[in-house]
Structure 1
Amino acid sequence: MSYIKPILQVLSAILIVLFFSNSVSDSALKREYYEIKIYTINGPEQEAKVDQFLQKAYLPALHRAGISKVGVYKPIKTDTTFGKRIFVFIPLKKLDQLSSLLTALDKDAAFQSAGAEYLNAPWDKPVYVRMESIVIQAFKDMPFHQLPKLGGNITDRVYELRSYEGGTEKLYQKKVHMFNEGQEISIFSRLGFNAVFYGEVLAGRRMPNLMYMTSFDNIDKRNELWKAFGADPFWKKISALPEYQHTVSKSNVYLLNPAAYSEI
C-alpha cells in the first residue's frame, strides 16, 4: 500500500491548483463589461429615427435579454457635436453577451416589429451616418457600474465621458494603475463625482485607451467639482509621482445630457 501516499499527495496538489485557478477565474468574472455605441447622425430626421428605435425597440429588447438598465446620452447644446451624436451605454455581465445578444435580437419578434423602420431602412435613406462600438472591461477597483445619485432638474444633468489614450501600452497601464492602486478613484468618490463606471477599452477605434463616466446635477456643479479636484492635496501628490508622468498622450472629453428615456 506504499504507493497510495504518493498518489494522495499528487491528488492534493492538483486540487490546490484547481482551487486557486477557479478563484482567479471567479475574480475575473466579477468585473463587468460595457459596450458603448456611438451613433453619428446628420440632422433631426436621423436623430428622431434613432431615438424611436432605441426607445421603442432596442432598450425593451435588451430588457428581455436580461439587461435591466441602459444609458442614452447626447452632447450638450454648447458642444460642437450637438445634434450629431447619440451615445448608448450598455452594461454586460459577461463578454460573450456581445454575441448572444445578436442572436437574441434576431429571434425577438417584438424587436423586429418595433424596430422595422430602422432595421429595414433603404440604402439611399440610412437612419445614421455611422455607428461605432467600444468594448470595455470595468476597473478592478470599481468592478460594477453605479446608478448616479443626482438631484435637481433632469434636463440640467450632465454626464461626462472621458477617454484617456496612452502613447504606449506600458504608459497606458501606468495610468490604469494610477486609477486603481494609485487611488485616483478615491478622489472622485470623496469629492462626489457620481461615477457611473471606470474601465479599460478592449476594442475600439482609439487604443490603448481607458474610459470613464462621471455625472453631475448641472454644468456649474461639474465645473465646481473639477476645480476642487485640481486643488486636492492627494491629487497633487500622486500626479507628481515620477511613475505617473506622461501616461496620457491624448484625452477626449464628452459633455452629455441624458436622453428623456435614458435609464442611467
Structure 2
Amino acid sequence: MILDRRSFMEGVPMLTMAGMSAQGAAPKKSQYYVMEQFFMENGPQPGRFHEFCSKGLVPALERLEKMPALVMEAVMAPHMPQAALIIAGESYEQLKGVAARLHADKQFKQAHDAWESGEPPYQNSNAWFLEATQYSPEFKPLEKPLAAPRYFELRVYHSPTWRQLALLHERFAGPEIKIFHRAGVHPILYSTTMFGPDRPSLTYVIPFDSLAAREKAWAAFGADPEWAKVRKESIDKGGQISLRIQISIYRAMPYSPIR
C-alpha cells in the first residue's frame, strides 16, 4: 500500500506484465492508480483516518508530487464504516517512488506515526494496482469545485477470463459509453485490475451530485432501448462476460483534491 512502509507495490511488476500480455501492451500515456479500502470499527477509527489524510497524506502529496487523489467515506457498502483512497500516477515507477518519498518526508512520517500509534487505526484493508483503459478520461479535480462534495459510485465487474474482460472493455469503449452519457452517467476513470483481488476485472468510478441524481441516471440507462440490444449482442458474442458486480457508494471528503 502507498500508506504502508512495506508497500504492496514491490510485488506488482511481474503480475502487471502478466496482465498486460493478456490485453496488449499499455499505451505510453497510460495512467495508473493505487486504490485502497480501509475497513474500520465504529468509534474513533474513522476520525483518526481523516485526521491523518487531511493533515498528513493530502498535504504531502501536494508538496511532493501534486498527484491527483480522491479520498472518500462510504455511505453504502458491504462493510461500514469504510474509507477509500485512489491516487493516480503517470507510471508504475512514479507510484512506487512516491511511497518511498512519503515515508522519507518528516511531516508525513510524523502524521503517519501518530495515526498508527495506540489502538489499531483500522481492522483490515484491501489494495489494488489499476491500469487506465485507453477510453478512460483524465483523472483530475474539477476546475471549479462544487460547493458540496460529490458522491462516487465504485463498480467492479469480474470477468471469467482475460478474453472475456477484453470483450467487456470493447463493449464499454463502444456503445455503452454513449448510452451512459445520454443517461447522465459520466465515469471519471475506467481501469483494468493488474494487481489485487478477483482478477480479471474492470473497475470504474462515477461521480453524482446527489443520490437522487444517481437514481435518475441509472433509471434512464436501464430504460434506454439501445442498452437491451447492446447487452444481448454482448452475451451472444462472448457469453456472460461479467460474472459478478460489486457496488459501493462513497462521498468525497471536503479535503479531498478530487471531490
Q: 1:205 aligns with which of 175, 197, 211?
A: 197
TM-score (norm 1): 0.80
Task: After TM superposition, give the deviation of residue 243 of structure 1 in Å.
Answer: 1.6
> In 2, distance between residues paired with 1:47 and 1:223?
27
1:154 aligns with 2:154: no
> In 2, distance between residues paired with 1:253 and 1:151?
25
> In 1, distance between residues paired with 2:27 and 2:68?
23
Structure 1 residue identity aligned to 2:97: S
> In 1, distance between residues paired with 2:196 and 2:171?
22
Alignment length (residue pairs) = 233
Partner of 1:91: 88
> In 1, distance between residues paired with 2:115 and 2:246?
30
Report the aligned-residue RMSD.
2.4
Structure 2 residue identity aligned to 1:41: M
Task: After TM superposition, give the deviation of residue 178 of structure 1 in Å.
Answer: 1.1
> In 2, distance between residues paired with 1:147 and 1:234?
32
Higher RCO, Cα 8 Å, sep 6+: 2
Structure 2 residue identity aligned to 1:167: P
1:41-87 Cα shifts (integer Å, max 9, x gaps):
112311111111111111111122323431111121x55533x2100
> In 2, distance between residues paired with 1:46 and 1:64?
26
Task: After TM superposition, give the deviation of residue 148 of structure 1 in Å.
Answer: 5.8
Alignment CA distance shift 1:218-1:148 (3 Å): farther
> In 2, distance between residues paired with 1:150 and 1:209?
32
Is this contact kept in 1: 2:58–2:256, CA < 8 A?
no
Is this contact kept in 2: 1:137–1:201, CA < 8 A?
yes
1:102 aligns with 2:102: no
SS at match of 2:59: helix
Structure 2 residue identity aligned to 1:81: H
Partner of 1:229: 221
TM-score (norm 2): 0.81
- Alignment gaps of 5+ in structure 1: 1-23
Partner of 1:257: 251
Task: After TM superposition, give the deviation of residue 170 of structure 1 in Å.
Answer: 1.9
Task: After TM superposition, give the deviation of residue 175 of structure 1 in Å.
Answer: 0.8
- Alignment gaps of 5+ in structure 2: 1-23
Alignment CA distance shift 1:190-1:79 (3 Å): same
Is this contact kept in 2: 1:30–1:143, CA < 8 A?
no
1:104-183 equivalences in 2 (<5 Å): 104-119=101-116, 121-122=117-118, 125-142=119-136, 144-147=138-141, 154=148, 157-180=150-173, 182-183=174-175
Partner of 1:51: 50
Is this contact kept in 1: 2:67–2:89, CA < 8 A?
no
Partner of 1:4: none
Alignment CA distance shift 1:104-1:146 (3 Å): closer
Is this contact kept in 1: 2:136–2:188, CA < 8 A?
no
Percentage of identical aligned residues: 24
SS at match of 2:27: helix
Which protein shows a greater Rg? 1
